[in-house]
Amino acid sequence: MFKLLIAEDVKIVRETLVRAIDWNALGITLLGAAENGEEALAWVEREAPDLLLTDVGMPKMNGLELIEAVKARKPEIRCIILSGLNEFEHARKAIKLQVLDYVLKPIDPAEITTVVARAVEGLRKEQEERRGLELAEQAVKESLPNLTEVLSQEEWAGDLKKKKLVEQAIAYVKAHFARRELALSDVAASVGLSEKYTNRLFKEVTGQTINHWIIRLRMEEAARLLKDPAIRIYEICENIGYADQDHFRESFKKQFGVTPTEYRNRWL
């Protein structure tokens, strides 16, 4: 069973999503339904879902900001947008955030069932691919016990190539981390690899995902800029690629343990 979390501020829509769809028949365990983006993000940090179905227009943190924050923490979570805002700008940003689908209100339980079923099928295929690779690797190890030395040499060469690719990815991130639209797809394209493999390789070598690396660079630049009292905090927020000051404040506090204002006050 795959886990799904709903984020929807309108009570009647939220209750309809919970009750009108047979989630169990789709192979889904419904974790719950959050009333806003902040509540949903807190839920993700407690128990990460495999799928997130979120409205766009919510108070405190809208759906796109929620997805951006979720991707920074758990890039493997698949997201589906539910919205009455049929605007190109939202759809374009959703594509940048690697959203699986974009469902327009008023809600149609049959359409949502179809979209979620498609997402579940994709997740199952990924699981099968991972299991197949694990079984193949195990079979090779068991059938070729005398090739340890050769494999070690090949692994060393492979590790060197991986490090070079990650160095290229890091150089690209350092040059573009301040771009608001910077996404995993951009970094993957810069090294000529798939998004999934690039992120896995990056984490294998650095111990962090690409999104975490981007956030770290942005926060380090923010800390540097905060030492200059002539630069306003909203300007710093914009300069490092954040559209929302609340999201920036949350990310900064998570990195340094204090808010941007508290950090600045230390240097005054």
Structure token digits, residue 150: 């050769």
Tell me the pTM.
Answer: 0.53
**Is residue 142 in a domain?**
no
Same domain for 80 and 169, yes or no, is no
Identify whether 103 is part of a domain.
Answer: yes
Q: pLDDT by residue for the chain (268 residues), tens digit each?
A: 899 999 999 999 999 999 999 999 999 999 999 999 999 999 998 988 999 999 988 888 888 888 888 888 888 888 998 877 665 466 566 656 667 777 878 888 899 999 999 989 888 888 887 777 677 566 655 554 444 444 344 444 456 777 888 888 888 888 888 888 888 888 888 888 888 888 888 888 888 888 888 888 888 888 888 888 888 988 898 888 887 888 888 888 888 888 889 888 887 6
Strand partners of residue 119: none
DSSP string of the chain?
A: -EEEEEE-S-HHHHHHHHHSS-TGGGTEEEEEEESSHHHHHHHHHHS--SEEEEESS-SSS-HHHHHHHHHHH-TT-EEEEEES---HHHHHHHHHTT-SEEEESSP-HHHHHHHHHHHHHHHHHHHHHHHHHHHHHHHHHHH-GGGHHHHHHHHHHHHHHHHHHHHHHHHHHHHHTT-TT--HHHHHHHHTS-HHHHHHHHHHHHSS-HHHHHHHHHHHHHHHHHT-TTS-HHHHHHHTT-S-HHHHHHHHHHHHSS-HHHHHHTT-
What is the count of structural domains for the chain? 2
Residues 184 and 91 in one domain: no
Examine the domain organization and report whether 101 and 175 are in the same domain: no
Distance from C-alpha of 57 to C-alpha of 59, rounded to nearest angstrom: 7
CATH classification at residue 256: 1.10.10.60
Q: Give domain status of residue 185, yes or no.
A: yes
Domain hosting 64: range is 2-123
